[in-house]
Chain A
Amino acid sequence: MKFRTKLLAGVMFASVVGVAVSAQAAEVKEVQMLHWWTSGGEAAALNVLKQDLAKEGFAWKDVPVAGGGGEGAMTALKAMVAAGNPPTASQILGYFAVDYAEAGKLGDITSLATKENWAKVVPTALQKFTTTNGKWDAVPVNIHSVNWVWINKAVMEKIGGTEPKTFDDFVALLDKAKAAGVIPLALGGQPWQEATLFDSVVASTGGIEFYKKAFVDLDESALKSDTMKKAFDNLAKLRAYTDPNYAGRDWNLATAMVIKGDALVQVMGDWAKGEFKAANKEAGKDFLCYRFPGTDGSVIYNTDMFAMFNVPADRKAAQLALADATMSISFQSAFNVVKGSVPARMDVPDTAFDACGKKGIADVKAANADGKFVGSMAQNYAQPPAVAGAYHDVVTKFFHGEIKTSDSAVTELVKALNAAK
């Protein structure tokens, strides 16, 4: 019968294809990479890595992610890993790396790490995310820090302001801007941005040791203390210096307000520098970068990492090549000059960086030596996502007036963090 011949032909075709596929599987010279660096400068910076790998004969394959941003990518990654089909490596943030490591989904690149002596060059606190029980399973690409303020220099000169050294100086500076008729503080009113601002406010109000005690150790007496109340009061003070339309604004639009001179200052992580760069503004000449007043010498960090998944043996060589290329001094320098962050290795020369980058590199080194290099609570580097999420809730509800006083904010904070732990 006709049907049977067709069926037979189909089966034969399928088996031929099957043989072809299995023959190919013997050697995989390909890096499957899941990431969300798809826009302008970041994509260009990542191209350097692609070319480095191509020289060694490894092809680069992007894992497509629907919906862009980090959140969609994390969901896609979870699905791939749950299906037992992880990519060679994936861009990953904070405690998500720890989650995958604890679930036994990450590979082992310790041999390479020992050979290259990464333990020496990567800041100690950061290794919490790249190693599990002394075993390296991820490589850091950069170090961002959140305790920066970005100031439009022309506006600063117009109002005759100087670098604020303390929180009170900062408030005085904002008052000057208000009197001169510019928006003092450019803020995007989204929970993560408000929480990122509060990270700096807490470190400024209570010092970095207090920050560590409260957010890294989750010490209840610190969380309930008068210092924390004062930090909430300070945050409320800053609310008076925003424009009325800040709620829901994206961070880059807030940066644009500073770039255009509509606003004096934005408190934001150093990814904001990428926006200044894209607008052809020069550090020191068009804009100024200071540490958040009262936090100089400390670095509240977050970092982008590539997590190395537990891949079959035939993909291990490609994975090691990727890890090696990522940690190379040339890539770390080239990538971070564009990205606005600082290298995750402390032995990268700062010659290619601008004034802000140079300060950032020096700050990381000093903070690491003094034990003032601490993970950002808002960005998921001090606590797991559940706790950080509860923190976002309390800060944003306080900022938008759903929680009315700093007293109840502190009570709510303790309650929410305990429920999420």
Chain B
Amino acid sequence: MTELTVAPLADVTMPRPRGSVRGRLQDALPKIVLAPSFAAILLFVYGFILWTMYLSFTNSKAFANNNFVGLKNYQQLWTWTFETDPPSNWYTAIVNMGLFGSLYVVCCLALGLTLAILLDQKIRGEGFLRPIYLYPLALSFIVTGTAWKLFLDPGIGLEKAVRDLGWTSFSFDWVVNPRMMIYCVAIAGIWASSGFVMALFLAGLRGIDSEILKAAQIDGASGFAMYRRIIIPIMRPVFFSALIILTHLAIKSYDLVLSVTGKNPGGAAELPSTFMYTFTFTRNQMAVGSASAVIMLMAIAAIMVPYLYSELRDKGQ
């Protein structure tokens, strides 16, 4: 992926004969074209990251202020991290993030890969099946979440339907059980995103050189061994892209959890994103919210930076 985006740029910035105004303008053109988006990203992404860090050391409440309180907000979050009985909102948020994030990423990758491999068997009606799996992505998470909430609601959804069919002892009340709610969020998220991952993997599968596969067949490799030893390793960059996309979707997931759980009953459906939003905007504790945002950023960095580093270094060699 990265090679693709870098290559044309490198091409354009190749030195050209200098001297004429036209030539100089052409040399500068890529820089001029890129400058606005570069400036915008610098300000609106990195500038505001710094601003959030700054706020996390103040005691800002409804509005930003400059009264420094040192690490007080981080200390507050640190104590909350270990408050388990009753669980503090921050503790619940971290635990839920771990549960939801790992289930979401692992299941999406597994389901997406399986679907892609099955669809890649030159089956009839692929053009019809592919959009069906991809379609959930077209729905916003609010719609997805609300639909799943209604579908899983024991009073009107799945449980009632199965009981009406005659299995009267059937019980599936996760969506109204604060302790199990987060799994329902994961189910809805996996449903929404695995089709997209499938599309990524399908593109990867179609991009594999058929010569390699033919060579493997001649050597007598079985279908399973071919996938395990050749195809899946070749698709490593696709895993890489899918993982980055899924991880950031999981971490910024906000509307899904609110719509599936119905405004956080029992404080059990907290995620770092909802925690951050609630404290910053509805509870007027902007400084605590900022501190939690900084911790989220550092947690993502701790996971992603080593991974990015190892992946990109391999490419460079």
Interface residues of A (CB under 8 A from B): 71, 74-75, 78, 82, 95-96, 99-100, 103, 188-192, 194, 243-250, 384-386, 389, 393, 396-397, 399-403, 408, 412, 419-420
List residues 286-315 of chain B with CB under 8 A from any CB of chain A: none
Contacting chain A: which of B118-126, B200-208, B257-265? B257-265
Instruction: Choose one: A103, A244, A386; the contact of B63 (CB below 8 Å).
Output: A103
Residue of A nearest to B64 (CB): A82
Question: Are A248 and B267 in touch, CB under 8 angstroms?
Answer: no
Question: Are B283 and A386 in touch, CB under 8 angstroms?
Answer: yes
Please, what's the 1-or-0 string for B36-70, where 1 marks a CB less than 8 Å from any CB in chain A? 00000000000000000000000001111000000
Instruction: Choose one: B176, B178, B264; the contact of A245 (CB below 8 Å).
Output: B176
Question: Are A99 and B176 in touch, CB under 8 angstroms?
Answer: no
Given A386-B285, A419-B76, A399 and B153 contact (CB-CB distance below 8 Å): no
Question: Are B173 and A396 in touch, CB under 8 angstroms?
Answer: no
- Complex interface: chain A residues within 8 A of B267 (CB): 191, 393, 396-397, 400, 402
- Complex interface: chain A residues within 8 A of B281 (CB): 71, 74-75, 78
- Complex interface: chain B residues within 8 A of A75 (CB): 281
Given A396-B266, A399-B266, A402-B268, A389 and B282 contact (CB-CB distance below 8 Å): yes
Q: What is the CA–CA distance of A400 and B153 in the complex, to the nearest angstrom?
A: 17
* Whole-angstrom distance between the Cβ of A191 and the nearest chain B Cβ: 6
Residue of A nearest to B266 (CB): A400
Q: What is the CA–CA distance of A99 and B60 in the complex, to the nearest angstrom?
A: 12
Question: Are B261 and A243 in touch, CB under 8 angstroms?
Answer: no
- Complex interface: chain A residues within 8 A of B173 (CB): 244-245
Question: Are A248 and B175 in touch, CB under 8 angstroms?
Answer: yes
Residue of A nearest to B278 (CB): A389
Given A245-B155, A247-B177, A400-B178, A99 and B62 contact (CB-CB distance below 8 Å): yes
Question: Are B86 and A402 in touch, CB under 8 angstroms?
Answer: yes
- Complex interface: chain B residues within 8 A of A194 (CB): 265
Residue of A nearest to B80 (CB): A419
Question: Are B265 and A190 in touch, CB under 8 angstroms?
Answer: yes
- Complex interface: chain B residues within 8 A of A402 (CB): 86-87, 178, 266-268
- Complex interface: chain B residues within 8 A of A71 (CB): 281-282
* Whole-angstrom distance between the Cβ of A339 and the nearest chain B Cβ: 22
* Whole-angstrom distance between the Cβ of A85 and the nearest chain B Cβ: 15
* Whole-angstrom distance between the Cβ of B85 and the nearest chain A Cβ: 9
- Complex interface: chain B residues within 8 A of A401 (CB): 266
Q: What is the CA–CA distance of A190 and B176 in the complex, to the nearest angstrom?
A: 11
Instruction: Choose one: A103, A400, A403, A419; the contact of B265 (CB below 8 Å).
Output: A400
Q: What is the CA–CA distance of A51 and B254 in the complex, to the nearest angstrom?
A: 39
Instruction: Choose one: A243, A393, A399; the contact of B155 (CB below 8 Å).
Output: A243
Interface residues of B (CB under 8 A from A): 61-64, 76, 86-87, 89, 149, 153-155, 173, 175-178, 181, 261-268, 278, 281-285
Main secondary structure of the interface of A (DSSP, over half): helix
Question: Are A248 and B263 in touch, CB under 8 angstroms?
Answer: yes
Main secondary structure of the interface of B (DSSP, over half): loop
* Whole-angstrom distance between the Cβ of B19 and the nearest chain A Cβ: 18
* Whole-angstrom distance between the Cβ of B185 and the nearest chain A Cβ: 12
Excluding A190-B264, A386-B283, A397-B86, 17 further A-B contacts by CB distance (< 8 Å) are A74-B281, A75-B281, A99-B61, A99-B62, A99-B63, A245-B153, A247-B178, A247-B262, A247-B265, A248-B263, A386-B285, A396-B267, A397-B266, A400-B178, A402-B268, A403-B86, A420-B283
- Complex interface: chain A residues within 8 A of B178 (CB): 247, 400, 402
Question: Are B264 and A191 in touch, CB under 8 angstroms?
Answer: yes
Instruction: Choose one: B155, B265, B278; the contact of A396 (CB below 8 Å).
Output: B265
Q: What is the CA–CA distance of A30 and B283 in the complex, to the nearest angstrom?
A: 32
Instruction: Choose one: B87, B177, B263, B284; the contact of A191 (CB below 8 Å).
Output: B263
- Complex interface: chain A residues within 8 A of B86 (CB): 397, 402-403, 408, 412
Question: Are B177 and A384 in touch, CB under 8 angstroms?
Answer: no
Instruction: Choose one: A74, A188, A246, A248; the contact of B149 (CB below 8 Å).
Output: A248
Question: Are B282 and A74 in touch, CB under 8 angstroms?
Answer: yes
- Complex interface: chain A residues within 8 A of B278 (CB): 389
Question: Are B283 and A248 in touch, CB under 8 angstroms?
Answer: no
Given A82-B63, A243-B155, A402-B267, A385 and B283 contact (CB-CB distance below 8 Å): yes
- Complex interface: chain A residues within 8 A of B153 (CB): 245
- Complex interface: chain B residues within 8 A of A82 (CB): 63-64
Question: Are B176 and A384 in touch, CB under 8 angstroms?
Answer: no
- Residue contacts A-B, CB under 8 angstroms, 14 given: A78-B62, A82-B63, A95-B284, A191-B264, A191-B265, A194-B265, A246-B176, A247-B265, A248-B149, A248-B263, A249-B262, A386-B284, A393-B89, A396-B264
- Complex interface: chain A residues within 8 A of B283 (CB): 385-386, 389, 420
Residue of A nearest to B160 (CB): A245
Given A190-B264, A400-B266, A412-B86, A386 and B154 contact (CB-CB distance below 8 Å): no
Residue of A nearest to B153 (CB): A245
Q: What is the CA–CA distance of A96 and B63 in the complex, to the nearest angstrom?
A: 11
Q: What is the CA–CA distance of A397 and B178 in the complex, to the nearest angstrom?
A: 10
- Complex interface: chain B residues within 8 A of A419 (CB): 76
- Complex interface: chain B residues within 8 A of A384 (CB): 284
Q: What is the CA–CA distance of A194 and B261 in the complex, to the nearest angstrom?
A: 15
Residue of A nearest to B284 (CB): A385
Q: What is the CA–CA distance of A95 and B282 in the complex, to the nearest angstrom?
A: 11
Question: Are A189 and B284 in touch, CB under 8 angstroms?
Answer: no
Q: What is the CA–CA distance of A412 and B86 in the complex, to the nearest angstrom?
A: 8
Residue of A nearest to B176 (CB): A247
Q: In the A-B complex, list the 4 residue pairs whose CB atoms are closest, starting with the nearest.
A: A248-B262, A400-B266, A99-B62, A389-B283
* Whole-angstrom distance between the Cβ of A252 and the nearest chain B Cβ: 12
* Whole-angstrom distance between the Cβ of B285 and the nearest chain A Cβ: 5
Question: Are A248 and B265 in touch, CB under 8 angstroms?
Answer: yes
Question: Are A248 and B176 in touch, CB under 8 angstroms?
Answer: yes
- Complex interface: chain B residues within 8 A of A78 (CB): 62-63, 281
Residue of A nearest to B177 (CB): A247
- Complex interface: chain B residues within 8 A of A100 (CB): 62
Among A95, A245, A386, max chain B CB count under 10 A is at A245
* Whole-angstrom distance between the Cβ of B21 and the nearest chain A Cβ: 10
* Whole-angstrom distance between the Cβ of A386 and the nearest chain B Cβ: 5
Q: What is the CA–CA distance of A99 and B282 in the complex, to the nearest angstrom?
A: 12
